[in-house]
C-alpha cells in the first residue's frame, strides 16, 4: 500500500472530534429578523457603506464596496430597511462598521440576480463575475478570489489545488458540502478549468473523510481532475503544506503559491464561484459547523452572512450551563469571543462552544527546553525564541515571526502550557507595525 501524501516537517495529531456533527445533514437556518452585516470581511482596506439609515435595500444588492488596494464588495442577503450603521468590536480588538438591516421577509431580489445564466468561457468575464459577487477565500484568510485567480502574467499557473483537507478538529462544513453537493462542486471545478489557463486539478482530502473521497471519485469522469487522499495530520490544510503534499513544490518563504505555478481555493469558494457564474448569485450565505459539548444541538448549517451568533445559538437549542469558551473557527486557529451579538462573516467556518472538559486550562510554567515546539513547527521555526523576542519586542531578532502560519501546533504540544502561538501572533502584528513605521521614517 502506498503511503499517504503529506507535508515534510513538523505537524501534530490532535483528536479530530468530528463525530459531534459528522453525520449531521446541512440545515438551512431561517434568516432572523435582524442581520448585522460587517463592511469589512476580506483582507485589505474596508469596504465603504453605499447605503444609509432609512434606505430600503434588496436581497443581493451591493451595500458596501471598496476599490482601494484589494477590491471587494458586500451584498445584502435579505430585503429590508437599514436601521443603523455602527461600529462593533470583533476578535483581535478589530473595530468594524456593521450595517444593521431589518428583515422585511419579502426576499425581493435585486434586478437580474438569482437567474440562471449561460456559463461564460471568457477568463476576464469570469474575473468580473467573481469580483462583482464579492467572493473571497472562505477558508479563513479572506483574500479576494478574483485577485487570486489572476496572478501576474509572468507567473504562469498550471495546477489548481482544491483544499478539501479540513484539518481543524470539530469542523465538518467542507465535508458535508462534498457529500451533499458533489455534482455542483465538480461542475464548479470543471467550469473554472474551462475558463482559466489552468489545466490540471488536484482535490486534496484528508484520509479521515473516506465517504467524501469515495463520493467524488465515483462521479468524476474528467481526466483533468485527480482526487487525492492526504494524511490526517495537522496542519495539512495550510496552503504551503498542502501544495507540498500534493505536488512536491515548495512555495518560497514569504511568497505566494503562484510562484510555483499553483492556485489554491477551498470547497466553499468553488461553490460560491459556480453560484455566481451560473445563477448571478453573490456571496450572501455560507456553510458552517456549530459544535462543541457546550451547544445543545450541534449542527452543520447554511446561514446568511450577518446572522448574529446569538440567533445561531438559539437555532441550535441554546448553550449548556457548563459552556466555558466560545471560538470563532476551529480550536487550533480560531479566535475566542464572548459577544454573541457579533455576526458570522464570509470567513466563519465554524462556531465552537466548549466546556471545561474539552479544553483543559493549566498554569503556565517555565520552559523545560524539551524541544517539542521546535519539532512540531511545520515552518521549521523556533517558537521558544520567537515568543521570547516577541514579548521583549526585540525587533532586530523578530523577522522570523513573519513566517509563522499561526497554526497553534507549538502551543498544543508545550508541556509547560506556554502560549507560544498567541505571543508570536501578537509579535507578528507588532513587528508589521514596526516595519511600516520604519519605512515611513525612511
Ligand atoms: S504557530 Fe507558528 S511558530 Fe507555532 S508551530 Fe505554527 S507556524 Fe510554528
Ligand atoms: S515545548 Fe514548551 S517547554 Fe518545550 S521547549 Fe518549547 S516552550 Fe519550552
The pLDDT tens digits of the residues spanning 212-241 come to: 999 999 999 999 999 999 999 999 999 999
Q: What is the pLDDT of residues 319-329, one digit of tens each?
A: 999 999 999 99
pLDDT digits (tens, 9 = 90+) for 362-371: 799 999 999 9
**pLDDT class for 1, splitting at 50, 70, 90?**
low
Residue 299 lies in a domain: no
Q: From ligand 2's centre to the CA of 425, what distance in Å? A: 17
Residue 67 maps to a domain: no
Domain assignment present for 132:
yes
Give the angle subtended at the CA of 347 by the CAs of 265 and 435, to the nearest 5°: 85
Within a domain: 104: no
247 and 377 in a single domain? The answer is no
In 39-158, where do the E strands start and end? 48-49, 56-57, 62-66, 72-75, 80-90, 94-103
The answer to whether the beta carbons of residues 225 and 203 sit under 8 Å apart is: yes
d(C-alpha 440, C-alpha 442), whole Å = 5
The pLDDT confidence band at residue 361, using thresholds 50, 70 and 90, is confident
Give how far the C-alpha of residue 289 lies from the chain's centroid of Cα atoms, to the nearest Å: 12
Q: Are residues 272 and 399 in the same domain?
A: no
3-state DSSP assignment of residue 246: helix
What was the pLDDT predicted at 267? 97
Per-residue cell: 432:
508589521
Query: How many independent structural domains does the chain possess?
Result: 2
Q: What is the mean pLDDT of residues 260-267?
A: 97
Cell of 11: 505537524
Question: Ligand 1 centroid vs 138 CA: distance in angstroms?
Answer: 22
Instruction: Give which of 160, 157, 158, 150 is closest to 125, Cα–Cα.
Output: 150
Sheet holding 48-49, edge to edge: 48-49, 62-66, 72-75
Looking at ligand 1, which atom is closest to the CA of residue 403?
A: 7
Distance 362 CA to ligand 2 centre (A): 15
From 279, 299, 321, give the residue that closes a domain: 279
Atom 7, ligand 1: which residue's CA is nearest? 404
User: Which residue, of 254, 279, 304, is where some domain finishes?
Assistant: 279
Q: How many residues does the chain have?
A: 442
The answer to whether the CB of 364 is under 6 A from ligand 2 is no
Whether the pLDDT of residue 107 is over 60: the answer is yes
Per-residue pLDDT tens digits for 264-296: 999 999 999 999 999 999 999 999 999 999 999
Whose C-alpha lies nearest to ligand 1, atom 3? 383
Same domain for 381 and 275: no
Specify if 264 maps to a domain.
yes
The ligand that comes nearest to the alpha carbon of residue 384 is 2
User: 355 in a domain, yes or no?
Assistant: no
List ligand 1's pocket residues with C-beta within 6 A: 376-379, 381, 383, 386, 404-410, 420-421, 424
Is the same domain home to 394 and 269?
Answer: no
What b-and-e string marks burial along 303-315, b requiring 16 or more CB atoms within 10 Å of the CB? bbbbbbbebbbeb
Percent of the chain with pLDDT over 70: 100
Give the structural domain span for 166. Answer: 123-279
**CATH number of the domain residue 156 falls in:** 3.40.50.11540
Residue ID of nearest Cα to ligand 1 atom 5: 377
Question: Of 239, 259, 279, which one is at a domain's C-terminal end?
Answer: 279
Candidates 315, 272, 248, 225; CA nearest to 24 is 315
Ligand 1 geometric centre to CA of 110 (Å): 45
- Please report the DSSP string for 202-223 in residue order: EEEEETT-HHHHHHHHHH---T
Of 344, 341, 414, 350, the C-alpha closest to 377 is: 414
Question: Distance, CA 334 to ligand 2 centroid (Å)?
Answer: 22
Instruction: Evaluate whether residue 388 is within a structural domain.
Output: yes
- Which residues are CB-contacts of 326 (< 8 A; sequence separation ≥ 6)? 294, 309, 336, 337, 338, 340, 351, 352, 353, 354
Q: Which of 12, 390, 409 to mutate to test the pocket of ligand 1 (most atoms within 8 A of CB)?
A: 409
Whether residues 142 and 259 fall in one domain:
yes
DSSP secondary structure string, 166-180? --STT--HHHHHHHH
Cβ–ligand 2 distance for 365 under 6 Å, the answer no
Does residue 227 form part of some domain?
yes
Amino acid at each position: 500500500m502506498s503511503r499517504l501524501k503529506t507535508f515534510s516537517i513538523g505537524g501534530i495529531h490532535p483528536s479530530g472530534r468530528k463525530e459531534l456533527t459528522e453525520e449531521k445533514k446541512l440545515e438551512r437556518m431561517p434568516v432572523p429578523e435582524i442581520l448585522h452585516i460587517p463592511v469589512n470581511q476580506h483582507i485589505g482596506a474596508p469596504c465603504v457603506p453605499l447605503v444609509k439609515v432609512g434606505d430600503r435595500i434588496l436581497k443581493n444588492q451591493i451595500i458596501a464596496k471598496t476599490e482601494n488596494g484589494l477590491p471587494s464588495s458586500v451584498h445584502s442577503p435579505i430585503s429590508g430597511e437599514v436601521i443603523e450603521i455602527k461600529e462593533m468590536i470583533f476578535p483581535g480588538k478589530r473595530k468594524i462598521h456593521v450595517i444593521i438591516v431589518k428583515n422585511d421577509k419579502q426576499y425581493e431580489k435585486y434586478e437580474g440576480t438569482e437567474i440562471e445564466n449561460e456559463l461564460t468561457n471568457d477568463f476576464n468575464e469570469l474575473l468580473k463575475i467573481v469580483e462583482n459577487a464579492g467572493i473571497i477565500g472562505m477558508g479563513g484568510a479572506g483574500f479576494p478570489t478574483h485577485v487570486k485567480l489572476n496572478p501576474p502574467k509572468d507567473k504562469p499557473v498550471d495546477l489548481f489545488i482544491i483544499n478539501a483537507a479540513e484539518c481543524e478538529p470539530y469542523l465538518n462544513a467542507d465535508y458535508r458540502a462534498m457529500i451533499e453537493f458533489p455534482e455542483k462542486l465538480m461542475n464548479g471545478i470543471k467550469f473554472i478549468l474551462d475558463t482559466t489557463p489552468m489545466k490540471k486539478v488536484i482535490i486534496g482530502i484528508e484520509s479521515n473523510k473516506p465517504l467524501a473521497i469515495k463520493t467524488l471519485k465515483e462521479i468524476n469522469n474528467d481526466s483533468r481532475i485527480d482526487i487525492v487522499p492526504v494524511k490526517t495530520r495537522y496542519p495539512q490544510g495550510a496552503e504551503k503544506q498542502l501544495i507540498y503534499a500534493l505536488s512536491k513544490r515548495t512555495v518560497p518563504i514569504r511568497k505566494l503559491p503562484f510562484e510555483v505555478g499553483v492556485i489554491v481555493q477551498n470547497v466553499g469558494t468553488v461553490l460560491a464561484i459556480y453560484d455566481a457564474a451560473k445563477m448571478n448569485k453573490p456571496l450572501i450565505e455560507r456553510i458552517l459547523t456549530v459544535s462543541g459539548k457546550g451547544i445543545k444541538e450541534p449542527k452543520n448549517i447554511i446561514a446568511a452572512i450577518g446572522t448574529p451568533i446569538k440567533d445561531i445559538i438559539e437555532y441550535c437549542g441554546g448553550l449548556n450551563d457548563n459552556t466555558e469558551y466560545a471560538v470563532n473557527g476551529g480550536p487550533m486557529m480560531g479566535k475566542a469571543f464572548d459577544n454573541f451579538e457579533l455576526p458570522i462573516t464570509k470567513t466563519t467556518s465554524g462556531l465552537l462552544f466548549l466546556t471545561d472538559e474539552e479544553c483543559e486550562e493549566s498554569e503556565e510554567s517555565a520552559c523545560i527546553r524539551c524541544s517539542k515546539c521546535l519539532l512540531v513547527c511545520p515552518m521549521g521555526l523556533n517558537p521558544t525564541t520567537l515568543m521570547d523576542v516577541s514579548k521583549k519586542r526585540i525587533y532586530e531578532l523578530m523577522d522570523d515571526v513573519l513566517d509563522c502560519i499561526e497554526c497553534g501546533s507549538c502551543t498544543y504540544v508545550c508541556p509547560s502550557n506556554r502560549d507560544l502561538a498567541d505571543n508570536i501572533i501578537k509579535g507578528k502584528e507588532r513587528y508589521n507595525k514596526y516595519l511600516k513605521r520604519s519605512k515611513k521614517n525612511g
